[in-house]
Amino acid sequence: MIALFNTLKKFLLATGAVSEFAARYFREVFFPPYEFKELLKQCFLIGNKSFALVGTTGLIMGIVITLQTRPTLVEFGAVAWMPSMIGIAIVREIGPVVTALICAGKIGSGIGAELASMKVTEQIDAMEVSGTNPFKYLVITRVTATTLMVPVLAVLSDLISLSGSALVELMKGGVSFELYFSRVFEYLQFGDLLPSFIKTFFFGFAIGIVGCYKGYTSTKGTEGVGRTANEAVVISSMLVFILDFIAVLVSDIFYEL
């Protein structure tokens, strides 16, 4: 019982600390100085460095889902529904969540380890002494970059996944790319696209804020760098699932209204 109480206490304290860190982000993001050059640099690094992994995963995901699903639809004579079914599944749920998890593993751990290394080597303290606002330069730019780039990566991943699925249909059923995508967008509605796109901004923000928080508050020297990277991945991945669950509930309530 005591162990459970201590665990709950640590969880609540950590939640409060991250919330306070996020509140500081919103307090400072709209006021100068603005680090536009660093923001563009981080957007390039996050988007460009992650695109190959996200794109490859998306392509394989589209191919595998189609190969696994096609035999069942053929058995029931419903193979014509393949484009619409795969399109809705990828765009609504699979694409955004898988992309966010990949970004949590690659971007979240990278940000956490980078800031933790700067923290333990006292580079952040040196920036404060020199008159630079390290929170503005290090945290706000990275969190904003992840918030902006994860949606872009999710959209590209969706398109690549659908292209992989279309490639399977071309080889297996002789369905052209033009016909495949026309069937996909025939059944995709605005209510499918908008919620899935909006929630990727929350995924990106969660990944960025957790990675920056863990790195910015890292302790215990170089030993803490590896622990920080690991914790950033675990916590941000859990937040992705929690945010996705909340987004699905909100979408269902919206559709019922």
Domain assignment present for residue 181? The answer is yes
Of 245, 239, 215, the C-alpha closest to 229 is 215
Domain assignment present for residue 237? The answer is yes
pLDDT of 48 reads 87
pTM of the model: 0.90
Domain assignment present for residue 86? The answer is yes
Domain assignment present for residue 188? The answer is yes
Q: Name the domain count of the chain.
A: 1
Domain assignment present for residue 3? The answer is no
Interval 126-163: pLDDT, tens? 887 887 788 888 899 999 999 999 999 999 999 999 99
Interval 68-119: pLDDT, tens? 888 888 888 777 888 888 888 898 889 999 999 999 988 988 888 888 888 8
Of 246, 211, 37, 235, the C-alpha closest to 137 is 37
Interval 188-230: pLDDT, tens? 887 778 888 999 999 999 999 999 988 888 876 666 777 888 8
Domain assignment present for residue 12? The answer is no
More confident residue, 54 or 31: 54
Domain assignment present for residue 2? The answer is no
Domain assignment present for residue 95? The answer is yes
Of 204, 191, 208, the C-alpha closest to 153 is 204
Domain that holds residue 219: 40-256
